[in-house]
Amino acid sequence: MTNNSISSYNSCMQLELFGKVLFELIEPILVIDSNLKNIVFTNRAANNLFNKNILNLSIFDIIDENDIIKTDSNNQINRFETTLTISANTIIPVVITTKSLKIDSITYIIYEIIDQTDILIASTQLAEKVKYEKTIFSISTAFNSIDNFDTNINYALEQIGRLTGGDRVYLFQMDKTNTTMSNTHEWCVTPDIALISMLQNFPLTDAQWWVNNLKSNKPIFISSLADLPEDAVQEKHILQSQNIQSLIALPIFIDKELKGLIGIDFVFFQVDCKPLDLELLRIASEIIGNSLGRKISFDYLRKTVAFLSTLIDTIPAPVFFKNLHNDILGGNDEFATVIAGKKIEEIIGLNITSLPVFNTQKISGIFKQYDNILIVKGKSCYFEMSLTMLNGENKDFLVYQSLFYDENAVPEGILIIMIDVTQYNIKNNTLLKIERNCAETEKAVAVGQLATGVAHEFNNVLAVIKSTVQLMIMEYADDVPESLINSLQEIDTNTTRGAEIAKSLMAIARPNDSNKNFCQIAEIIDSVIKVIQPQLKSENIVIHKKYSDVPPLFINRNQLHQVFLNLLINAKHALSNHTKPEITISIFKSDNAVKVYVEDNGCGIPPENIKKIFLPFFTTKGASSLDHTKIKGTGLGLPVSETIVKSNNGKISVESQPDVFTRFILEFPIPEKQQKELNDDKHNV
């Protein structure tokens, strides 16, 4: 055998051994003849990648010639990114590492191929997720405050539209009865596809499939209207009439009840949507829903606080709230000027013992004694107190104290009303004389009950916001920017702080004029219903209104407001254990008078108590009474109501049948001028 033959034989043996090693490697390997540029070897991974025989093919058949980096003679390793032609329809991104190998006189180039397809897909998905999360963060930041609420909603809809490529993004809100919904806000990529003016008071019965699916609190995605099921015939017809190709619907829940939806319409083309994208969009809809719930609660709170402020300042006696540590939480102007000699804003937060009128051992001891009695027994109490006023004058007060509670029914503070009885001989006076001053006391009881309801409603909304933010922190702590987590934690902190708002109710408005004027009795009753509606709704009490057209009455609006508030609170108590509680209010004209019936189907009044219910301090409510409801009462509500009705030239009476009904009958004379006009109208017909 010649030397050349031996050398050639040795080269073949080396190449064969080297090929066996390369064949078992995980990554695809190609070996190229550097001179001819043809493929002389492929390993198992390369065969699987191409799924065909590529031996003897030119390397340029599968890799762009411009991307190939030539290997120098020093065996330098080179790396470059390119695309690989797998078949006529398949081109994949790859990273190729090349190294030259010389065996005898022949130089080979080894190509190691790393498929980048999965990495590219993951990178694209991550970029898409980051884009969604940035949008959610910007929407969340916009709703940090409820100010400029409509502007913030429109901003959020636009951000969702630009993120998803939607052509129309809109908010639907259901009415209070959950029978219709209206398009309240809308963003469109072009003005000509706007529909907001056409989609008002839309009956939910025309979208039953839609509503039933949204109640499961899951997003709805329809890639094509052909995908709609048979029981969505009405929805399909509506969507076709709007030229919608694809759509996404995101539920809006407030207090665990479906109250609306965010819709995303694709008018010009069909789209596909990934589950992760839907889940991120659902978070955006929850943010909008929570903000909408906050807006509704704050609007209700403002209206209620305004009413309570007016109510408490109409009491012509010192009234104040304190916590169980004797710190002043609020009060009316009468308390601030008569007792403290300052503005109400200047004494909020002060301990009552810091006020000169209360700063004696005897007075602080009396408050401590009756505070303890109040907390232990849980019953309202009265006591007498003599004070030396700021001007040195001595005055006697009948002091009324009642607990108010937090949302967990835990005593939070004490409401105190101080009635000046200096002009009376307390020991020798009769209960009937005291009754004149106790009318203002019953107002304050109603204030305490309503304030508790407001605090409960407000804290419910804050609890939803707080739990949602905490859930987002736990779920996305490792996936979102630290700045977003910090913002969420700031929201969580401020939510806790916001809960203190309901405990104060400190900013008290100025009283309105309480003189008699011509008023519509129905308007007064409706204003009372608005205030007490949350309490009635929480106990599933239904109100039926049967109003006839009646002339206005010459009455004191504020006083009659108090009367109907007392009657509705009493009716609520009477219905506490009823399976189908109902209150019916009727207004009609009878002869020369206007009559009002306030009737409930509750426990009724025993015959032996009918004649006593208008007596001061008679009550069946309380732990020591025979009333099974154990509801505490002062026995002043109906006596006060009777006094007010009589002072407005009216009459009040009651009819009742135990376990069937109770009906309070109020009758007010029609003023002579209005009666004459009515008679003239009859003659002219």
- Check residue 72 and give its pLDDT: 44
Which two three-digit tokens encode residue 681?
């109208």
Q: Is 327 helix (H, G, I), strand (E, B) or coil?
A: strand
> How far is CA 106 from its chain centroid?
78
* Pair (102, 150) in one structural domain: no
Is residue 264 within 8 A of residue 158, CB to CB? The reply is no
Going by the DSSP 8-state scheme, the letter that residue 338 receives in this structure is I
Other CB atoms within 10 Å distance of the CB of residue 59: 18
Same domain, 536 and 628: yes
| Token pair listed for 584 | 């019916």
Asked if residue 521 and residue 406 are part of one domain, the reply reads: no
Average confidence (pLDDT) over 79-89: 80
421 closest CA partner among 447, 394, 381: 394
Does 248 share its domain with 309?
A: no
Tell me if residue 142 falls in helix, strand or coil.
helix
* 182, β-bridge pairs: 173
77: its two tokens: 């390793």
Residue type, 510: R
Mean per-residue pLDDT, 195-211: 91
**279 falls within a domain:** no
- Tell me the β-bridge partners of 546: 586
Instruction: Assess whether 18 and 101 both reside in one domain.
Output: yes
Both tokens of residue 193? Answer: 């596809």
Instruction: Please check whether residues 67 and 162 belong to one and the same domain.
Output: no
Would the pLDDT of 160 be above 60?
A: yes
Q: Classify residue 63: in a domain, yes or no.
A: yes
Residue that terminates a domain, selected from 253, 273, 293: 273
- Residue closest to 502 by CA, chosen among 354, 325, 321, 340: 321
d(CA 560, CA 594): 14
Confidence of residue 279 (pLDDT cuts 50, 70, 90): confident
Residue 527 included in any domain: yes
More confident residue, 342 or 73: 342
Buried b (16+ CB within 10 A) or exposed e, 532-571: bbebbeeeebebeeeeeebbebbbbbbbbbbbbbbbbbbb
**pLDDT over 80 (residue 147):** no
Task: Examine the pLDDT at 471 and tell me if it is beyond 50.
Answer: yes
497 has a pLDDT exceeding 60: no
Q: In this structure, is residue 481 part of a structural domain?
A: no
Higher pLDDT, 197 or 66: 197
User: What burial class does residue 57 get, using C-beta atoms within 10 Å of its C-beta: 0-12 exposed, 13-18 middle, 19+ buried?
Assistant: middle
Confidence of residue 80 (pLDDT cuts 50, 70, 90): confident
Same domain for 349 and 265: no
Q: What is the mean pLDDT of residues 553-570?
A: 90
The residue whose two tokens read 């979208």 is 207
- The arithmetic mean of pLDDT across residues 307-324, rounded, is 81
Concatenated DSSP letters of 35-95 = TT-BEEEE-HHHHHHH-S--TT-BGGGTB-GGGPPPP-TT---EEEEEEEEEETTEEEEEE
Q: What is the 3-state secondary structure (H, E, C) of 514-576?
A: CCCEEECHHHHHHHHHHHHHHHHHHCCCEEEEEECCCCCEEECHHHHHHHHHHHHHHHHHHCC
Q: Is residue 282 domain-resident?
A: no
pLDDT top residue among 158 and 85? 158
pLDDT for the residue numbered 54: 84
- The tokens describing 267, both together, are 């008018």
pLDDT above 90 for 296: no
- Choose the final residue of a domain: 115, 136, 159: 115
Q: In CATH, what number is assigned to the domain containing residue 261?
A: 3.30.450.40
Q: Beta strand pairing status for 168-174 and 257-266?
A: antiparallel
- Sequence-ordered list of residues with C-beta below 8 angstroms from that of 474, at least 6 positions apart, any chain: none
263 and 326 assigned to the same domain = no
Percentage of the chain exceeding pLDDT 70: 77
- State whether 554 and 660 are in the same domain: yes
Q: What is the pTM of this model?
A: 0.41
pLDDT at 424 over 70: no
Beta bridge partners of 82: 94
Q: Which two tokens stand for residue 676?
A: 């004459």
Q: How many Å apart are CA 502 and CA 458, to the nearest integer? A: 7
pLDDT of 71 reads 46
**Residue 372, SS3 per DSSP:** helix
Region 73-89: mean pLDDT is 73
Per-residue confidence (pLDDT) for residue 4, from 0 to 100? 45
The encoded tokens of residue 603 equal 């426990």
DSSP state letter for 391:
T
Bridge-based pairing of strands 593-600 and 582-590 is antiparallel
pLDDT bin (cut points 50, 70, 90) of residue 502 is very low
C-alpha distances in Å from residue 165, one per residue of 273, 351, 461:
11, 60, 33
Predicted local distance difference test score (pLDDT) of residue 36 = 66
In a domain, 602, yes or no: yes
Q: Pick 594 or 26 by higher pLDDT.
A: 594
Two tokens at 148?
């400029």
What's the length of the chain? 685
DSSP SS3 for 620: coil
CATH of the domain at 37: 3.30.450.20
Cβ pair 85, 62 in contact under 8 A: yes
Order of strands across the sheet with 651-657?
Answer: 542-547, 582-590, 593-600, 661-669, 651-657
For 605, the domain range is 517-678
Q: How far apart are CA 478 and CA 214, in angstroms?
A: 30
The 10 Å CB-count burial string (b at 16+, else e) for 483-503 is: ebeebbeebbeebeebbebbb
pLDDT score of 455:
54
Q: Which residue has the higher pLDDT, 132 or 180?
A: 180
Give the span between the Cα atoms of 584 and 602, in whole angstroms: 12
pLDDT at 629 over 60: no
The chain-wide mean pLDDT, for the chain, equals 79
Q: What is the CATH number of the domain that holds 672?
A: 3.30.565.10
Mean pLDDT confidence for 460-482: 67
Q: Are residues 254 and 390 in the same domain?
A: no
> Which pLDDT value is given to residue 437?
47
**Cβ-contact 418, 339 below 8 angstroms:** yes
Q: Summarize pLDDT for 371-397 with one digit per residue, the tens.
A: 888 888 877 888 888 899 988 888 889
- d(CA 454, CA 534) in angstroms, rounded, equals 9
Let me know if 89 is exposed, middle or buried by CB neighbors in 10 A (0-12, 13-18, 19+). exposed
The domain tally of the chain equals 4
Distance CA 61, CA 461 (A): 66
By CB atoms closer than 10 A (0-12, 13-18, 19+), residue 636 is buried
Given a cut of 80, whether residue 547 has pLDDT beyond it is: yes
Residue 217 has pLDDT above 90, yes or no: no
The answer as to whether 469 is a domain residue is no
Same domain, 167 and 108: no
**pLDDT, tens only, 664-680:** 999 999 887 666 665 65
Of 459, 480, 505, which residue is a domain's last?
Answer: 459
Which one has a higher pLDDT value, 320 or 145? 320
In-domain check, residue 265: yes
Residue pair 246/282 in contact by the 8 Å Cβ criterion:
no
**Are both 525 and 662 inside the same structural domain?**
yes
